[in-house]
Structure 1
Amino acid sequence: MSFVGDASSIFGMLSKGWSWWQSRHDPALRSARSLIRAFEAHGVGRQQIIRLVPTSVAQARPELSMADFSKPEQLKFKLSPALLDWAAEFLNVRRAWLDGKADTPPHHIVNHYKQPALYGPWFADRMAQAPDVDRVLTVVTTHDQPVGPGANGPVFLVYEEIENGLDGEQFSRYWLLSDEWYMYHPPCVENMAAAVSVADSAGVLVIGKQLPLRELVRLQNRETLLPELMGFVRGTWYPTDLVNPPPLQDSPWRQAVWQGAKKWLERTA
């Protein structure tokens, strides 16, 4: 390697080291990076964020401008509790995550494990609060493990509300409706099928997506945002088949799962 190449490599390592040190020791910079990352993950570009900020927040002192969102190093000087509160509510992410609190998941978790009937009132409440959105429940499983006997990877229930965003683009907000569920554990699979049944009965579109295991592990470790995760879809499946299988496609495994799901629903009804 040439002297120039060696120098460039060393400079790159030093830059990464400096960025890491700043992230660890500059909480304002960490919050600014999280805010910009969250908006970009939800499909909002840095130059677009200012268009969404309420006037009361944007015109506070110090006043915000489009340029302030161009890079975290600039935005950190304009951060305020009001801006972070608004961003957390608008994106439906946890305020503590924007603050950089350790081990805080970015998304709100509504986990009714072993009480799946409670998803019914929760869906009804969301419909009352946001009547004019499209609703999707996505059941996320591991790509290389077909849903059925022998599957052992994690499973996630992701609820999404979709509305019109800037310039005619779609904008989504997300909730996690499960927490540390696994396909190898029968009660988790039964509760997943029960939640699918509740969502389907409530008029929520139910779909299935398959992703690489490494990405699901990152979600478990709270290292990624749900819209970032959805960029790694490798396949699809039909969760409603667990409730109402197509003709001639039933199985003893599916029947056992659904019988267990009905018991959970009866228990918590």
Structure 2
Amino acid sequence: MSIVGEATGVIGLLGKSWNLLRDRLDPARAQAQLLIDTFEAYGIARQQIPRLLPPELRLPNATFSTPDKLRDKLTPDLLDWAANHLVIGRSWLDKGDRRAHLPEDHYKSPTGYRDWLSHRLEVAPSVSRCLTAWTPLGEEISQGHGPLCLIYNETTEGLDGSEFSRYWLLSDHWRLDHGSCLENLLAVIAVARSLGILVLGRHVPMARLQQLEAGEALIPEVAEHRRGAWHPEDLIDPPPGQDTAWRQALWEGAQQYLAKDGIAWPCLKPERD
């Protein structure tokens, strides 16, 4: 490496160290930086943020250009609005919670998922929506290991003809190698199908899923690393000639969860007394 290259590297490290120290000494600036970074992770450039603000929170465009300009304009109302708009934990914006996405987890309770998804259909009837199971890249669902993440998203029209997606995490540290987690997944798939919600499967590098579960990455950041697709609904209705005893046992376990909550397959309506 040349002397110039070494000097540039040292300067870069010093700059990062100074930024970290400055954020520790100035929590308001760190919070402003976090807010800008979060919007940009959702595909919203900092200069676009003012266009989204409600009238009572309007700020000049330059306010969001740097964290130093934004720090003195931060208010609880602004942070409340941002958390609601992006569907992230409010306490995370205060650095009080280590996870941005608060899991909407109804493990072994299909009715919890049915009620929650039905509510989303009522409050947002016109959006494009889907439920996606993320599994580690290179891991077979029948023999693999690692995180199993269930993501629900709603997509609406964004700025200038773009799309804007909100995400919810519907699992909390589920494991691909844990039978109950897979049975629960099948029960949720069945519930989603009954409500007409599209169900997809995507492969994601193991490290990215681990970052998501650890609160070190946002869902849209992880979504950028999706590679390839699989079909979760095949776990309920396998293609002809592709059924297995393993799948049948898994589906039987899922049906037990459904039956316990009074949900009958295939109609998936509460059973009457």
Shared fold (TM-score, shorter chain, > 0.5):
yes
Q: Does 1:122 align with 2:108?
A: no
- Aligned with 1:169 (options 155, 162, 167): 162
- Matched residues in 2 for 1:213 and 1:174: separation? 20
Corresponding residue for 2:195?
Answer: 202
Tell me the SS of whatever aligns to 2:224. Answer: helix
Distance 1:109 1:102 in 2: 13
Q: CA deviation at 1:71?
A: 1.9
The alpha carbon displacement at 1:227 in A equals 0.7
What runs of 5+ residues in structure 1 fail to find an aligned partner? 59-63
Paired residue secondary structure (1:233)? coil
| Alignment-derived partner of residue 84 in structure 2 | 89
Q: Distance in 1 between matches of 2:179 and 2:48?
A: 45
The letter for the 2-side match of 1:145 is E
Per-residue CA deviation, residues 217-241 of structure 1 (Å, 9 max, x unaligned), is 1011101110111000122100011
Shift of the alpha carbon at 1:9? Answer: 2.5
1:53-108 CA deviation, whole Å, 9 max, x = no partner? Answer: 111011xxxxx2111111222211211111111111111111111111142x1123
Identical aligned residues as a percent: 45
Output the CA distance in 2 between the equivalents of 1:3 and 1:242. Answer: 59
In the TM superposition, 1:34-183 aligns within 5 A as: 34-58=34-58, 64-103=59-98, 105-148=99-142, 150-183=143-176
Distance in 2 between the 1:169 and 1:6 partners? Answer: 42
Structure 2 residues not aligned, in runs of 5+: 263-273
| 1:229 maps to 2:227 | no
Instruction: Determine the C-alpha separation between the residues in 1 that align with 2:181 and 2:3.
Output: 57
Q: Please report how far the alpha carbon of residue 10 of structure 1 lies from its aligned counterpart in structure 2 after TM superposition.
A: 2.3
8 Å Cα contact 1:116/1:268 also seen in 2: yes
Change (3 A) 1:71 1:117: same
Task: Report if aligned partners of 1:158, 1:174 keep a CA contact under 8 Å in 2.
Answer: yes
Partner residue, 1:257: 250
The one-letter code matched in structure 2 to 1:45 is A
Structure 2 length-normalised TM: 0.92
RMSD of aligned Cα (Å): 1.3
2:232 maps to: 239
Which portions of structure 1, spanning 4 or more consecutive aligned residues, are displaced by more than 6 angstroms? none
Q: Could you list the per-position Cα deviations for residues 133-169 of structure 1 after superposition, in whole angstroms to 9, with x for gaps in the alignment?
A: 1111010000110211x21111011010111111111
Q: What TM-score, normalized by structure 1, do the two folds share?
A: 0.93
The Cα of 1:212 is off from its aligned counterpart by 0.5
The one-letter amino acid paired with 1:124 is S
Separation in 2 of the partners of 1:24 and 1:222?
19
**Paired positions, count:** 262
Amino acid at match of 1:172: S
Residues 27 and 100, structure 1, Cα contact 8 Å, conserved in 2 = no
| DSSP 3-state at the match of 1:151 | coil
Shift of 1:2: 4.8
3-state secondary structure, aligned to 1:206:
strand
- What letter matches 1:28 in structure 2? A
Give me the whole-angstrom Cα distance separating, in 2, the residues matched to 1:2 and 1:21. 29
| Structure 2 letter corresponding to 1:111 | D
